[in-house]
Amino acid sequence: MFDYMIVGAGLAGGVLAERLASQAGKKVLLVEKRNHIGGNTYDHYNEDGILVHKYGPHIFHTNSREVFEYLGQFTQWRPYEHRVLASVDGMLVPIPINLNTINALYGLNLSSEEVDSFFESRAEKKDKITTSEDVVVNKVGRELYNKFFKGYTKKQWNLDPSELDASVTARIPTRNNRDNRYFTDTYQAIPLQGYTKLFEQLLNHPNIKVMLNTDYKEVIDIIPYKKMIYTGPVDYYFDYCYGKLPYRSLDFKFETIDTETLLPTGTVNYPNEQLYTRVTEYKYLTGQKHAKTSVVYEYPKDSGDPYYPVPKPENAALYKKYQQLASGSKDVYFAGRLATYKYYNMDQVVAQALSLYRKILSSPEIEYHG
């Protein structure tokens, strides 16, 4: 008899399994349909011995000391600050747009104050920022929006930025200084031996049993448990009763090249050319020394593994209906990017899981299923 059946061995499921097993003495069965733990953070050594992230580049960054220290119990960290160049007008320039970007792109030598006036003179001021187009044109104007955001967003989401919530492009700031880093969070690091090793430590507890290669629906009626934590897609849990929630997917094309370094930086974005959105060289992230190098190209697509919830009003309305069913589901908790339909980074998923754990601790014990 398990106290908890947890569906999904990604960060949401992994953190909740660890907390419940090690802090609350609960017996946990972690059910995962893939053949590995780690969810989308899973990394492994490829045939050439290069450490790659199977589901695209994962760079950890957070402002939460609690989250950083919590994960730090299961891994050492390698400090890493990600830098990205965008291919625009035949040049590779820093993104997020900053002072260096503008000076390089327009052959200028502006100061921070001057670049503020430059942005201001081009900005199309909006009374209300609702969409992903509004965010960018309101700040930097339409020309830079067209160069950096319109094409990339269309490729990534198959939607015009005007159809997407503001929160999507708001992930990318605009700076008047020379800071070329992609993120400015207080803590930026990669697990020293990789994410999969972190998960091995996270789940290394006698109260946690892991069952791989299993969709929970195959075992739910035959394994007794008291409560469930579900971290898969919320619409699947409810048998798509209100219809499918849109998730965006990607094809990852990996290449290993017989050269020590290929790219000038960790990632190059292609807003205007190519069918892929970006290419990432893993050795920048992992710090691995190797005579060869591995890169991954990301090709967005509609169907396939659900990677991104699609933030737009109709989808939020549909999710709300599922959320109502979820909150009425006795003895089942929903957590993570897919089950709560939130475009969350890793640290936000960990924070959400830790907060759910605290909520569970304070709620009464419930009955047995099976």
| Cis-peptide into 96, omega within 30 deg | yes
Q: Are strands 84-88 and 60-62 parallel, antiparallel or unpaired?
A: unpaired
Q: What is the torsion angle, in degrees rounded to the nearest 10, for the CA atoms of residue 164, residue 166, residue 171 and residue 177?
A: 130
Q: Which of ligand FAD, ligand UDP, none binds 337 (CB below 5-8 Å, type-dependent)?
A: ligand FAD
Q: Report whether 59 contacts 267 (CB < 8 A).
A: no
Q: Which of ligand FAD, ligand UDP, none binds 352 (CB below 5-8 Å, type-dependent)?
A: none
Q: Which of ligand UDP, ligand FAD, none binds 169 (CB below 5-8 Å, type-dependent)?
A: ligand UDP
Candidates 68-76, 168-176, 213-221, 256-264; binding stretch for ligand UDP (CB under 6 A): 168-176
Q: Which of ligand UDP, ligand FAD, none binds 168 (CB below 5-8 Å, type-dependent)?
A: ligand UDP
Residues 250-289, one symbol each (x = binds ligand UDP by CB under 6 A, - = not), give -------------------x-x------------------
169 binds ligand UDP (CB under 6 A): yes
Contact positions toward ligand FAD, by CB under 6 A?
7-13, 31-34, 39-41, 55-60, 215-216, 231-232, 250, 307, 336-338, 344-347, 349
CA within 13 Å, CB half, 188: 12
Q: Report whether 360 contacts 333 (CB < 8 A).
A: yes
Q: Which of ligand FAD, ligand UDP, none binds 10 (CB below 5-8 Å, type-dependent)?
A: ligand FAD
- Closest contact distance (angstroms) between CB of 115 and ligand FAD is 27
C-alpha–C-alpha distance, residues 286 and 181, integer Å: 17
156 binds ligand UDP (CB under 6 A): yes
Structure token pair of residue 112: 């921070």
- Which bin fits 39, alpha (ψ -120 to 50), beta or left (φ > 0)? left
- Could you list the beta-strand ranges (E) of 198-301: 208-211, 225-230, 247-257, 267-269, 278-281, 293-301
Q: Which residues of 66-90 are buried (b: 16+ CB within 10 A; e: fewer)?
A: ebbebbeebbebeebbbbbbbbbee
171 binds ligand UDP (CB under 6 A): yes
Q: Which of ligand UDP, ligand FAD, none binds 55 (CB below 5-8 Å, type-dependent)?
A: ligand FAD
Chain positions contacting ligand UDP, by CB under 6 A: 86, 95, 148-149, 152-153, 156, 168-169, 171-172, 269, 271
